[in-house]
């Protein structure tokens, strides 16, 4: 620990917080799991009031000193293991000159405690997590002596390996794909679209399953040779485009079908256009390659 351990004498209140603004309804917005609060000039008094029940560790930092900004994360990681016994208050001194002046900040990061509305000196500079923990332990001992033993509400962590539950028909389609029953998967997605024509996930899923159906067992070399020999054969061109999308050559597939649209007319052109739009769904509407190809398709059609 430090040669200047925290003691009850630290509760002298050498820092004058009375000049800060009174609480505002939006003050102290919590982030992440609820343990880190943003401290601002306008709302800091509300945070001070809250330390009557739950201690706080204030980290003052600057955007101009990256190490000081990163240190907030170090303190937050320590706080996570204390189950809400204290909160971390993150103060950007560049955006909050009132707090910078009130705490007489000379360098950042600067870290102090807040307990029962009073500041408690902790340490200056970046410290390793274990050293931060030692200071926190001393602060919490002091808090217990003053009857400040409340806990902050902590959001339960979301397990990373928990998959969201799928709608029944989507799950049915997924299970069918797992057992390599593409017909059943397509039927499940199609039924989902009957129930909800705006089901975007089902639209994408059905397009992907159809792509797998069309390319199952295809001899790629033979398919590409056939397309090269018959550039106006729309079936051959669409098959190679499917193979390209499946293999990750998305732009090649789009260019091939847009060129085929230009070279065809009537029902054949419409068939190629619909096929291309289905491949757009496979890749994703927000993909830049899809957006570019849509513009090219419009030009080819008109």
Mean pLDDT of the chain: 86
d(CA 36, CA 87): 6
d(CA 158, CA 166): 17
Structure tokens at 233: 């054969």
Cβ count within 10 A of residue 116: 17
> Which residues on adjacent β-strands are paired with residue 61?
92
**How buried is 47 (Cβ within 10 angstroms: 0-12 exposed, 13-18 middle, 19+ buried)?**
buried
pLDDT value at residue 153: 79
pLDDT digits (tens, 9 = 90+) for 214-272: 999 999 999 999 999 999 999 999 999 999 998 889 999 999 999 999 999 999 999 99
pLDDT value at residue 65: 92
CATH 3.40.30.10 in the chain: give the residue spans.
8-145
Please check whether residue 65 is in contact with residue 125, taking contact to mean a CB–CB distance below 8 angstroms: no
Handedness of CA 150, 56, 130, 157 (dihedral sign): positive
Give the closest residue to 302 by CA, choosing from 267, 258, 271. 258
pLDDT value at residue 246: 87
pLDDT value at residue 17: 60
Please check whether residue 57 is in contact with residue 80, taking contact to mean a CB–CB distance below 8 angstroms: no
Which stretches within 7-96 are classed as H helix? Answer: 44-50, 66-80
Please check whether residue 279 is in contact with residue 257, taking contact to mean a CB–CB distance below 8 angstroms: yes
**pLDDT tier, 284 (very low <50, low <70, confident <90, very high otherwise):** confident
d(CA 145, CA 301): 79
Q: How far apart are the first and last CA of the chain?
A: 76
pLDDT value at residue 166: 83
Cα angle value 113/117/120 (rounded, 5°): 25
Examine the pLDDT at 285 and tell me if it is beyond 70.
yes
What class is the 8-145 domain? alpha beta
pLDDT digits (tens, 9 = 90+) for 121-152: 999 999 999 999 999 999 999 999 888 998 88
Examine the pLDDT at 8 and tell me if it is beyond 60.
no
Lowest average pLDDT, out of 27-31, 113-117, 180-184, 296-300, goes to: 27-31
Rg of the chain's alpha carbons, rounded to an integer? Answer: 31
Please check whether residue 220 is in contact with residue 244, taking contact to mean a CB–CB distance below 8 angstroms: no
pLDDT digits (tens, 9 = 90+) for 178-215: 899 999 999 999 999 999 998 888 888 999 999 999 99
DSSP label of 14: -
> Which residues on adjacent β-strands are paired with residue 3?
none
Collapsed DSSP state (helix, strand, coil) of residue 91: strand
Structure tokens at 37: 């609060």
pLDDT value at residue 137: 94
């Amino acid at each position: 620990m430090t040669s200047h351990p925290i003691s009850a004498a630290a509760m002298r209140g050498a820092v004058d917080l009375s000049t800060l603004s009174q609480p505002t309804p939006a003050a102290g917005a919590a982030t992440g799991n609820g343990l880190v609060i943003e401290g601002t000039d306008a709302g800091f008094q509300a945070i001070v009031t809250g330390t009557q029940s739950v201690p706080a560790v204030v980290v003052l930092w600057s955007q101009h000193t990256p190490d000081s900004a990163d240190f907030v994360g170090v303190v937050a990681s320590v706080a996570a293991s204390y189950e809400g016994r204290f909160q971390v208050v993150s103060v950007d001194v560049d955006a909050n000159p009132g707090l910078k002046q009130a705490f007489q900040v000379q360098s950042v990061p600067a870290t102090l405690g807040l307990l029962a509305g009073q500041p408690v000196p902790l340490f200056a500079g970046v410290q390793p997590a274990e050293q931060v923990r030692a200071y926190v332990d001393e602060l919490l001992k002091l808090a217990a002596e003053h009857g400040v033993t409340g806990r902050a509400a902590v959001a339960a962590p979301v397990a990373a390996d928990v998959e969201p539950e799928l709608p029944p028909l989507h799950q049915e389609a997924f299970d069918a794909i797992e057992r390599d029953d593409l017909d059943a998967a397509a039927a499940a997605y199609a039924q989902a679209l009957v129930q909800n024509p705006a089901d975007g996930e089902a639209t994408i899923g059905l397009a992907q399953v159809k792509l797998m159906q069309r390319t199952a067992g295809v001899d790629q070399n033979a398919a590409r040779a056939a397309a090269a020999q018959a550039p106006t054969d729309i079936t051959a061109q669409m098959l190679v485009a499917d193979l390209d999308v499946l293999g990750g050559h998305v732009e090649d597939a789009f260019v091939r079908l847009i060129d085929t649209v230009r070279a065809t007319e009537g029902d054949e052109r419409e068939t190629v256009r619909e096929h291309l739009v289905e491949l757009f769904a496979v890749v994703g509407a927000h993909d830049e390659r899809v957006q570019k190809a849509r513009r090219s398709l419009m030009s080819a059609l008109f």
